[in-house]
Each structure stands twice: as structure tokens, then as C-alpha cells.
Structure 1
Amino acid sequence: MATQLIEPPELKRFDPRQRAAALMLALGQKYGSPIWDQLSTEEMKELSSSMAMLGRVPAAVVEHLLAQFAHDMTAMETCHGSFETTERLLAGIMPPDKVKEIMEDIRGPSGRTMWDKLSNVSESVLAGYLKNEYPQTIAVILSKLKSDHAARVLGVLPREISVDVVQRMLRMDTVQKEVLTQVEATLKTEFMANFARAQRRDPHETMAEIFNAMDRSTEETMLGALDQKAPESAERIRALMFTFEDLANLMPSAIAVIARQADKRQMALALKGAPEEIKSLFFSTMTERSAKLLREDMAGMGPVRARDCEEAQSDLVRLAKTLADTGEIVLVDPKSDDTMIM
């Protein structure tokens, strides 16, 4: 049974909304952005208003809120969340029309209309669904999307399908309202619901991403607190995190891609505080001249703050993840003998 965190006395004068505002201020833009991305416009407005009126928050309150947040996020495995349970909960605290509006929004990507929502779905995912539809249906859907997004979807669709769709779009007259209504209903029931279910994530993955973005001292403090309160969750988060030290597990070809695309000063700063194993790995992928210049840059920096080195190392990790997301490199999971594309 998890130990309850002890609340500081000062916490009592802050209501739930103020506590949420204080937490988001403490996380800041860098660490809080994954959470902001999940909020609706109205929620953002309410939270921002509370932040603006918050005033000074004692350090003990901030520390407690951060520890409670990490604890609560990793303890979510103890309950079962679904669209149905969420809808039942909301139905007990707000009017039916508001519940309907919120549930329609969270069942798919953000947007007020179906076409707004589709514009927030990646072209590869949308094309994967549309390629199994009739070309005329695809033409109707693409005609309602923004031109740049429709162009990207056409580029991903198989060539024979995309050519047929373009021809149908050229011959298309005004689409009848009944047809649009039917297409929207199909998208909502077949595509958006499945898309939302596929997008659901383990909260430990979300926390691992947040911890990855933290500076090392904050990360170690937070994980240390979780070790005491929820050791199994702390272990799962560590297993999901990809750290600077994990770069040592990458193939030399992947390191070479990172080295080519990294900001040279940031890479020099990151390697200045790196273990010799990682330094040698980076140098081994470079030409003799490039390695010599990098060593000179590192030597010319003189003494640097450990915090600056850690931030530069975090930048390299984020670059590695971005390159993996686009398929340019493959990351190796340090916890297994298999490779994974992230």
C-alpha cells in the first residue's frame, strides 16, 4: 500500500484550481508542455487566469505538489479509465450538453468540427485509413481539408489511388449536405473512435518523457522520492526513459547521423562532461579533421558549469529521439537485446 504524502500546513489556503496553477508554474514551459497539449481552450483559459492571480507560493507547497503529481501519475494503474467511465463521471457534475461537447473533443484530435479534427491527424495515419475507402469518399474528405494537409495525404496514398482521387476532385460539384453528414458520421464512428483508442498511452510513458526533459538534479530528486513512495512505478519510469548514457548503446552509424545534425557548440559542451566511452564513440564516427576541431572546441571552452553540460546532453537526446521518430536512425533499448524504432 502506497504511503500518503504529508501535506504542508500552507497547502490548506490553496483551492484545487490554485494548486493546479501552482503545479503548472513549477513545471514551466519546458516540463509542462505535454500537459498543456492535452487541455482544451477553456481549460487553458481557466488555468491561466488562476496562474495570473496566484501570487507567492511557499517552497514547501511547490515541493509537495510536484511530489504528489509524480505519485498520482504513476499510481493511475490502480483504476480503470475509459471513455465510458469518464463520461459517467462528467454526467454527475455538469449538464448533458457540456458532457457531450467534452466527450466529442476527447474522443479524437482537438478541433471544433470533424474536419478540424482530421487536420490534426498525421497524413500517414489518415492515408492508412483512407486507402481502404472508395476513391469518391476520399475525394469528398480531402476536399474539406486544408490544402496543405490534403496535399500531404495525397503524397502518402498509393499512386494509383491518389491519381484517381485527384481526377474525381477535379470533376466534383458541390457536395450535398446529406452526403457530408453521412461521411462525417462514418468518420466519427469508425475512424475517430479507433484513433483515440490507439492513442491511449501508459501514464508511465508520459512521465518518462517529462522526466527526460528535466535537469538531472530535479530528475534524481523526483525519482528518489518515488523510490520511497512507489518503487515499482519508479522502476518502470526508469526503464522507459532514454538518457544521454544510453547513446553509448547506439550503432556508430546512428551516432554519425546525430553528430552531423547536431549544433557543433552544443555537441562540444555535451561531450565535455560526457563519459570517455561516449566521447570515443562520437570521435570514432568523424573524420580526423572534424574530431580534431571538436576536441579544440572542447578545450577552448575552459571550465563549464555541470548544469550547462547536462542541458546540452539533453538537447542531444532530444535530437536522437527526433531522428528516430522520422526513421533516420534506430534507437536500441538498453533493457533488451532487441532494437526498436522510436
Structure 2
Amino acid sequence: MMAPLSKPDMAAILMISLGEEKSSKVIEKLSEKSINDLALRIGKTKMVQAQEKLEVLRECRMLMLAQEYISQGGLPYARSLLSKALPEERVDTIIDQVERHIEGNPFDFMEKAPPDRVSEILRTEHPQTIALILANLSRPKASEILILLPAETRLDIIKRIAEMDEMKPEVVDLLKKSLKEQMKGFLGTAGDAIGGVEAVAEILNLIPQADERAITQGLQAETPEMAEEIGKLMFTFDQIANINDRQLQEALTTVIQEIGTEGVAICLKLCDADLKEKILSSMSANNKQEVIELFDGLPPQLMKDVEVKQQEFIKVLKQLSDEGVITISASGEQDAYI
């Protein structure tokens, strides 16, 4: 008897079965992470058995039919039609998958809930449960909630998010119902990506640096390999020192347009002398003089306000990195120009 196929395996087999031309049209609509995961799964698929291919194609066809039936008459209509051709258990599975696709993120209802109230409820939950929820929330929301949780539990939660792969639908459903019940009265009206080191890196990039350092140091002590993998995906203000001088000159023009010379001056309040000099040296003479004058005249700043401004600076650099204007390196190695 053939072993059940996981969803990632089925996706890989479907792409292989469709052939290069048709698969490429599907893949171009996926996120970069999904493409990487799919490519990895395809690479590990040595040979597709005829029975496996047939099962995947049938599954895909049934899901497409279910969606078509739903568009014509809703879930009850789709269930009624599919029940005429399939066993009830099979119909339940298909309808459940389509319903999840329509509903989207099972924890969307938490996005507009106050972070402090959410953190109060989550304090009594198991770290694995908290990790599952945070991995499915937007990164800004997850970071807001994480920082309100007890410091001694954050490291465990972060490790569980990084190691997370797939969710069991029945577990998610039970958790969703329980949380909705607990959160009645302060829910707002309100993504199906799961965890992984990418999620952790994005969350850690959004919390205060002191807390990020504490969690990162804990990871380095307990799971150095995971810490290294997460570190490669993160970008902190200190890593500006690793950007090629020529690229930084070009990037600072955009940064100043976005946050202004005063914003840059505020950012310099919380960096070492070498980095401060590197940033100033990469500006035009006029901008450099203006930033120095603003820096010297700045009143005392709250650390959290400086960190917020540094995050704005970093956000611009990340956008430029995505556009290929600059290369951000975590190692300190700079690309040479020849």
C-alpha cells in the first residue's frame, strides 16, 4: 500500500506531472519562499510512481471542482454534488481544504486585537501553542505580542517558530475556537504561512535591540546552528558597516529623502564611532555638514525613539537590497569593484 503523501510532496509531484511550460506559469505566481521550498522538494523527488501521479492529479481535480461548485452555490451545494461521486470522509477532507483556502489565515481575527490583551491570554498557553499563533500573524503584530510575553519564555517560543513546519488542521481548529471564545469583547473585525527561520528573523528585526540581542545570545548558546541561520536573514543597524562604500553612498541619498537629515542624525545617537564615521563619510559634503550640526544640537533622545528611527533607516536599505541596488552582508565581507 502506498504511503500517504504530504502536501509539499503533492505540490512537487504536480509540478513534475504538468511539465516545464505549464509548471513555470504556476511557479511565477508563488512567493519567493514558496518557490524555494518547492524547488527543494522537487530536487528531492527522485522518481514519481504512476500511482502517485494519478493520486495527485485526482486530488487537484477534486479541489478545482469543489471551488467551482462553491462559486455556483456555496459550500452546501459543493458538498451535495461531491457526495454523489465520493465517500463522505473524502468529501469532508476536500471541503475542509477549500474552506481553509477561502478563509485564509485561521488567526486573522487576532490581527486587530490589542497586543497587551492577546499577550495576557497567551501567557497561560504552552510555548508551542504561542509559537503556532505568532508564526501565523503578521510580523509586526507577532513582534508586538512577543515583546509583551515573559522574557524567560521568548527564547523557547522563537526556537519553536524556527523549527515549525506544517500545522495539523484539527489542532488549529480547536485552538482557533478556544481563542475566539477567550477574546470575545475586545476583538476587532478582522497570514497561511507557517513559521521557520525566515519568520523568526522578521520578528526579531521588529523588536527593540536589547530584547533582540538577549534572544539572539540565548539562541547562540543553545542552538548555534539555528542562530547562525537566523542571523544570515536578519539585518541590524550595525551591519551597515558591511555595505560596500560605493553602494552606501548611493543608498544614503534615498535614505535622506525618506527620513531626512534629522532622522539620520537621530540614528547616529546609538551607534559606535566607526560606523558613525562610515555613514558620514558616505554623504555629500552638504548633507554631512547638516547632519553633524543637527546631531550636535539634538536634545537627549529616548532609546526606543532612536531604535524606531533606525528601523526606518533599515527599512529603506532593505527595500534597496530587494531592488538590487545594494548588497547586505551579515559576514562583513564586501563585494569588490574591479
Alignment TM-score, normalising by the size of structure 1: 0.46
